[in-house]
Structure 1
Amino acid sequence: MLGKKLDRLHWMHWLVILLSTILTVLAWKTSKETLDEKVENKFKRESTQIIELVLERMQKYEDALWGGVATINSHDGNIDYVHWRSFAQRLKLEERYPGINGIGVIHNIQKDQLNSYLKLERKQRPNYKIHPAHSEKEYWPITYIIPDDINAKAVGLDMAHETNRYTAAKKARDTGKAQITGPITLVQDSEKTPGFLFYAPFYKGDIPETVEERRKKVVGLVYAPFVFSKLMQGVLNEKNRHISLKVSDQDSVLYNENFQESSRFDNKPLFSKLVSKKVYGRTWTFDMRTNQAFREANVNAQPMIILLGGIVIDSMLFLIFYMMGRSRRKAVEYAELKVKEADEQRMIAANSAKLASLGEMAAGIAHEINNPLAIITGNVRVLLKLLAKEDVKNAKINESAKMIHDTAMRISKIVKGMRYLSRDGSQDEVKAEKVSEILQDVVDLSSEKFKRQSVELSISNSDESLKVDCRKIEISQVLVNLLNNSYDAIKDLETKWIKIEVFQEDQFCVVAVEDSGDQIPEEIKNKLMNPFFTTKPAGEGTGLGLSISKRIIGKHGGKLSLDDKSANTRFLIHLPIHSA
């Protein structure tokens, strides 16, 4: 107990460890907050850059459209297919404008102009037609679109047939500014993914001042079709980005990288941001989230290194203080060890003295008893021979003579057993012994005492051939001690029985000694096998029996234990089985 108190750290030691821990946590927290702020600023910077790149690219596309308007105006507002193709080829769309699907011309045709328009266009393209049919009062057909091979399905398509196309066309006409449509699917897109059209209006002469004049003087639109996914590939290279993007126009999703099937998807993004921007008459919402690439690129072990380093330092401080505490209790431990050794020596000496006294007493008793016993035995044998020779038929005499002989032999056997069991067998040679024979010797010595007190003794042996390597005398002494303890515990009870059970458990022979007494109380179980601990009245027990028995069984490689699962008092002896 004193040793445990000396092990405890002084409050000053705890104070030092506490202050060191607080400094560690503060350093870790400051480092982590600084790093988190740095990473968050990086996300803000990259997300802003994404939007700027998209808007910058849209501006570049708008410049191309106004370039087309200027080209048409240079031809007095009327450009044919050949000149438009020449203009589009000079733009080098794939090289300078990645993401664009083409560039074309849409004319605004009133109903009274339709026949003359078709006649003019069919001079160079006999199969040219406007499609599909609709109920509007005007037409906005695509006259030219370059490159024409991938956009063939769009030639002649009338913008007035569909709401998003038509609405944006009229808005571009009325405002005189570039406009984009709401989400549509391009007729030339085989994958049917979201897209849009980008319009720039052109008029007879300069852009009129009023809406009414613009409606009268509008000639048409220079336009570019876009598949949104191709636009994003042209603007932003996903492989080089650490932010995944989703773009929506109201409830319609135009582009989406934020889906679980993506290899870069992060189920719990470090940062996310929603930004809405006005883009040529529409509102695009940018949903930006960090992905796995962002997480991997911004892994920084500095805060964890600081924390782990602090923990190591605190642990070392604790270890140093603990070792200091241990050094203070070494003297106490040494003293306790010497006291324990002295107790053990006292226990061994007491047991040896007890065995020596018993041995001397047993030898004296045996000498005193054996001489007259030999005379009695000899005379009984002579008597039995005479009775047999004279052919005496008196059964009572024969029976009495035989009883005297058997009793004398039993007394002799008990005396021999007392002499055998009362000597010190610790120096005997270890031999393979049958457990059944050891038990029989012990029971023969104790059975008469049990009979006198009406104690029922029973033996159950599952295997008579079981052998153990042991010093027979020592194992016998342990069993005698257990039987005597059981006898003392139950002799005054109403129900008195003792059961000895022998069985094999794995590689051990188990001898169980159980009596009719109740289970031993919890408060004394842990003390039961301590030297000099006894529950018997003063003068009736030294408290050495179980302690010495445990020591003997331990020396044989076995174990002596109390069976906690039994309702009665039950001790178990485990001894290694002899291997032939």
Structure 2
Amino acid sequence: MTTSPDLQNGYHYRAKLVKAGRLQSAHWAILGLSILLTIIAWQFSRQQLEQKIEERFNREAAHVIELVKERMTLYERFLWGAVALNDVNNKLDNNEWKTYADSLNLGKTYPGIHGIGIIYNIQANGLDEYLREQRINRPEYNIHPFQEKYEYWPITYIEPLATNFKAVGLDVSFESNRYNGIKKSRDSGLAKLTGPIALVQGNKNNTGFLFYAPFYRGGNQYNTIAERQENIIGVSYAPFIMHKLITAVLSDNNQLTSLKITDQGVSLYDDENHQARNKIDAEPLFTTDIDAEFYGRVWTFHITSNIDFRKGAETSQPYYILLGGIIIDLLILAMFLFLAKANRQALVYADRVTDELNEKTICLKKSNEDLEQFAYVASHDLVSPLNAIQKLISWIKEDCIEILPETTKTHLSLLESRTQRMINLLKDLLDYSRVGRVDFDAELLQIKPLTNDIFALLDHNTNTSLTVNDAKLIFPRVPFEIIMRNLISNAIKHHDKEKINLEVTLKELPNYYQICVQDDGPGIPPELTNKALEMFQTLQPRDKVEGSGMGLSLIVKIIEHYRGKLSIESDGIRGTKVIILLPIPNNTVG
């Protein structure tokens, strides 16, 4: 007993339905790719965020150093002001210096400075005369620690005296850091810092430094070291306790970093020893070491992010992206399961078909009803959540657009366009699925007015022109309108010029109507013409030209349903011609 071809085709079709009722490798591949893209987007967002946080830390670190540099520049100008006073009045007495220092209002104008003073260079042969001059107003004045040497650098005046009285008369040449700093300033004619020292004004833990600015007989006009050494009078100077200086510099700053400063390995300042200890992060997110030159010394700034920086860097944005991607992946899986279930249901309905024609008719009717139900589900149950998502996006924009970062705004716009694209795709899928389910009666169509009406309803600029020859054909009106609307719309959407020229011609061949739609837009490469006719295919990025990629495939299906043919001619550079052949019906329509 032989099996009829129709029955064989039925068995083959049933096997396809059984296979379609299960999730295939392609479904899992799509789902896996979607999960992979979600992870990539999450990782990319996290990396971008980490990069921005690191850039913020680097800005904070650079800002700290810039603040210290600005403050030291201010103090330098302050010292040169004291030098200018000595140039005007070559010999100051203690009362004149006190009057000048009081006028500076050090505590408010120059926060962080410990005092200001004058140190004179005294040669050994002029020591007795120097002491006699100083003891006129200050009988108790003396140089300490006293050692026999060829020159002395005693602190002659310093204010405020109450906090610096131990420094009066101190010969700074007794200690190498103080002495080397003053010699560098003298020999260069520039303001210079000493290395780290323990100030006599404070306790042993008050590490600091001295800041010198030299003055000479006749002003700072000498070009050689020998000339400067011969004509030096002394230096104006300021003592600094390092932790007081840093506290003053950073007091008005909401610091997001912890700071350590060293000079050739010797600690100058450490937040751990001062008021910032409670903000130190035991495991900082970022750390950096920066060397900065300050008036002949190189200070190393060891800067780390602190607790406040960590709090400010905390954000859930990457996890929102991850959660959104997971939700989309679950929706894709749910759609696949739904479609698989629908296929299994269709197979169950098909299994109920019997050899009896009446039962076949009943089953066919039931199947059609189920397909109609499926179309309703696709247009309602799938489109409705997408519409809800678009509404949520609009609410987010209305409520949060002013506070959202630019990257999040971009993500919202992408989500909105992707949702609209899925809605359009579902509508086109429904149109595609309906082809052949409804038969329309053929009628006599005047191609010119009909095509012009279709063109008038499409979105196009005033530079778009359409030429149609005056001809007639016999064909169902609705399918013909769908064909022409999609062809003209595609030509307009994919055009790359402001001025668009379209031409539609109809002529009658033996047994066929030939319809040609010609445009002057970018051509389609010959090797891609077949791909352009496939479902979901676009030759331009979807973000550049909105479309579902189903326009030509819908046209092809309609034409093939009416036993016609479609072909594309293009050189791939400029211009595309779509040629349609439709059978001429045997009967005529009046």
TM-score by length of 2: 0.52
Deviation of 1:240 (Å): 0.5
Give the SS at the match of 2:243: helix
Q: Corresponding residue for 2:301? A: 286
Q: Secondary structure at the match of 1:171?
A: helix
2:78 aligned residue (31, 43, 64): 64
* % identical aligned pairs: 45
1:160 aligned residue = 173
Q: CA deviation at 1:61?
A: 0.3
Whether the 8 Å contact between 2:281 and 2:307 is mirrored in structure 1 is: yes
State the partner residue of 2:52.
38
Q: Is the 8 A contact 1:134 1:160 kept in 2?
A: no
Question: Where does 1:246-325 land on structure 2 (aligned, <5 Å)?
Answer: 246-257=260-271, 262-318=277-333, 321=336
Amino acid at match of 2:68: V
Does the Cα contact within 8 Å between 2:124 and 2:149 map onto a contact in 1?
Answer: no
Q: Return the alpha-carbon distance in structure 2 between the equivalents of residues 192 and 265 of structure 1.
A: 21
Find the partner of 1:47 among 61, 73, 92. Answer: 61
Change (3 A) 1:96 1:7: farther
Residue 228 of structure 1 aligns with an amino acid whose one-letter code is M
CA shift for structure 1 position 112: 1.1
Name the residue aligned to 2:143. 130
- SS of 2:114's equivalent in the other structure is coil
**Structure 2: how far apart are the matches of 1:22 and 1:192?**
58
Q: Could you tell me which residue of structure 2 aligns to residue 515 of structure 1?
A: none
- Deviations for 1:24-66, whole angstroms, at most 9, x for unmatched residues? 1232233223222222222222221211111111111010100
How many angstroms does 1:204 deviate by?
Answer: 1.1
Q: Does 1:18 align with 2:37?
A: no
Call closer, same or farther: CA 1:284–1:127 in 2, change over 3 Å: same
TM-score (norm 1): 0.53
Mapped partners of 1:98, 1:74: distance in 2: 27
Q: Gaps (5+ residues) in structure 1?
A: 332-580
Cα distance in 2 for residues equivalent to 1:163 and 1:290? 36
Q: How does 1:116-515 map to 2 (within 5 A)?
A: 116-134=129-147, 136-190=149-203, 192-207=205-220, 208-237=222-251, 240-257=254-271, 262-318=277-333, 321=336
For 1:278, give the aligned amino acid: E
- 2:115, 2:239 within 8 Å by CA — same for their partners in 1? yes
d(CA) in 2 for partners of 1:277 and 1:315?
55
Counterpart in 1 of 2:486?
none
8 A contact 2:198–2:204 mirrored in 1: no
Number of residues paired by the alignment?
328
Among 123, 127, 133, the alignment partner of 1:114 is 127
User: Which residue of 85, 90, 104 corresponds with 2:98?
Assistant: 85
Gapped runs of 5+ residues in structure 2?
1-18, 347-590
Cα deviation, 1:90-139, whole Å, max 9, x if unaligned, reads 11111111100000001111111111111111111111111113354211
* Aligned-pair CA distance for 1:309: 1.7
**Range with bigger deviation, 108-117 or 38-47:** 38-47
1:276 to partner: Cα distance:
1.0
1:352-406 Cα distance to aligned partner (Å, 9 max, x none): xxxxxxxxxxxxxxxxxxxxxxxxxxxxxxxxxxxxxxxxxxxxxxxxxxxxxxx
Q: Please tell me whether Structure 1 or Structure 2 has the larger radius of gyration of its CA atoms.
A: 1
* Cα separation, partners in 2 of 1:328 and 1:265, compared to 1, 3 Å: farther
* Secondary structure of 2:158 counterpart: strand
Distance in 1, matches of 2:277 and 2:135, equals 49
Give the structure 2 partner of residue 490 of structure 1. none
SS at match of 1:57: helix
Per-residue deviation, 1:324: 6.8
SS at structure 1 position matched to 2:163: coil
Cα distance in 2 for partners of 1:137, 1:320 equals 97
Q: Per-residue displacement from partner, 1:315-345 (whole Å, max 9, x unpaired)?
A: 34445545777899999xxxxxxxxxxxxxx
* Cα distance between partner residues in 1 of 2:206 and 2:334: 66
CA distance in 1, matches of 2:21, 2:124: 104
Distance (Å, rounded) in 2 between the aligned partners of 1:150 and 1:218: 28
Shift of 1:303: 1.2
Match of 1:195, SS state, is: strand
User: Residues 133-166 of structure 1: CA distance to partner in whole angstroms, max 9, x if unpaired?
Assistant: 3354211110111000011111111101101001
- Tell me how far apart the structure 2 counterparts of residues 296 and 276 of structure 1 sit (CA, whole Å): 28
CA contact (8 A) 1:248 1:286 kept: yes
CA displacement at 1:23 relative to structure 2: 2.1
Cα–Cα, structure 1 residues 251 and 135, in superposed 2: closer, same or farther, change >3 Å? Answer: farther
Distance 1:255 1:16, change over 3 A: same
Output the aligned Cα RMSD: 2.7
